[in-house]
Chains A and B, each alone.
Chain A
Amino acid sequence: MRFIRDWRHAVSVLLVGLPLAAGLTPTGAAAAEVNVYTTREPGLIKPLFEAFTKQTGIEVRATFVQQGLAERVAAEGRNSPADLLTEADYGSLINLAERGLIQKIDSPILNTAVPAALRDPDGGWYALSMRARAIWVSKDRVSDQTLTYEGLADPRWKGRVCTRAGQHPYNIGLISRMMVKTGAEATGKWLAGVRANLGRKPGGGDRDVARDILAGICDIGIGNSYYVGLMRSGKGGKNQESWGNAIRVILPTFADDKGSHVDVSGAAVARFAPNKDNAVKLLEFMVGDEAQKIYAEIDYEYPVKEGAKIDPLIAALGKLKIDPEPLTAVAARRKEASQLVDKIGYDN
Chain B
Amino acid sequence: MSAAVAVLVLAPVGGLVFFAAMGSGDLWPHLFANVLPTALRTTLVLLLGVGVVVAVVGVGAAWLVAMCRFPGRRWLEWALLLPLSIPTYIGAYAYLDVLHPVGPVQTGLRALFGLTDPRALWFPEIRSLPGAILVLGAVLYPYVYLPTRALFLMESASLFDAARSLGAGRWRTFLRVALPLSRPAVAAGVSLALLETLNDIGASSFLGVNTLTVSIYTTWTARSSIEGAAQIALVMLVVASALILLERRARHGKRFAAGGDAPPSARVPLSGAAAAAAAAFCALPVFVGFALPASYLLVQAWRRVSAFGLPVELGRWIANTVLLASIATGIAVAIALVLVYAARPLAGSGGGWRAAVPRIASLGYAMPGTVLAVGLLVPVAALDNLVDDAMRSLFGLSTGLLLSGSGAAVIFAYVLRFLAIPIGTIESGFAKIDPAIELSGRSLGAGAGRILLRIHAPLLRPAILAGALLVFVDCMKELPATLLLRPFDFETLATHIFAEAARGTYEDGAIAALAIVAVSLLPVAVVGLSGRGERSGQAFRARPAVAVGPA
A interface with B by C-beta (< 8 Å): 4, 7-8, 11-12, 15-16, 18-21, 23-28, 35, 41-44, 61-68, 71-72, 75-81, 91, 95, 165, 167-169, 172, 200-208, 211-212, 214-217, 227, 230, 235-237, 239-240, 242-243, 334-335, 338-339, 341-343, 345, 347-348
Contacts and interface: CB of A to CB of B under 8 A. Distances in A.
A20 B408 contact: yes
B498 A61 contact: no
Contacts of B224: 91, 95, 334-335, 338
A201 B385 contact: no
A204 B384 contact: no
Given A20-B407, A24-B407, A66 B400 contact: no
A194 to B, nearest CB: 16
B486 interface: yes
30 contacts: A11-B399, A18-B406, A23-B319, A24-B487, A25-B406, A27-B401, A43-B499, A43-B505, A63-B489, A64-B491, A66-B498, A66-B502, A67-B220, A71-B374, A72-B404, A72-B484, A79-B400, A81-B401, A172-B222, A200-B125, A215-B100, A215-B101, A215-B118, A216-B101, A217-B101, A217-B118, A237-B507, A339-B34, A342-B31, A342-B34
Given A68-B374, A165-B218, A167-B218, 12 more contacts: A16-B408, A26-B399, A26-B487, A63-B489, A66-B498, A68-B484, A81-B405, A91-B224, A212-B101, A215-B118, A236-B507, A345-B34
B388 A79 contact: yes
Interface in B479-509: 483-484, 486-491, 495, 498-500, 502-505, 507-508
A7 to B, nearest CB: 7
A71 B101 contact: no
B96 A204 contact: yes
A63 to B, nearest CB: 5
Contacts, number: 225
Interface in B382-412: 382, 384-385, 387-388, 391, 397-408, 411
A27 B404 CA distance: 9
Contacts of A200: 125, 127, 208
Given A64-B495, A204-B206, A206-B504, A167 B221 contact: yes
Contacts of B377: 68, 71-72, 75
B521 to A, nearest CB: 24
Interface residues of B, number: 82
B530 interface: no
Interface string B430-458: 00000000000000000000000000000
B contact face: mostly helix, strand, loop, or mixed: helix
Interface string B93-117: 0001000111000000000000001
Contact of A27 (B222, B403, B487): B487
B504 A205 contact: yes
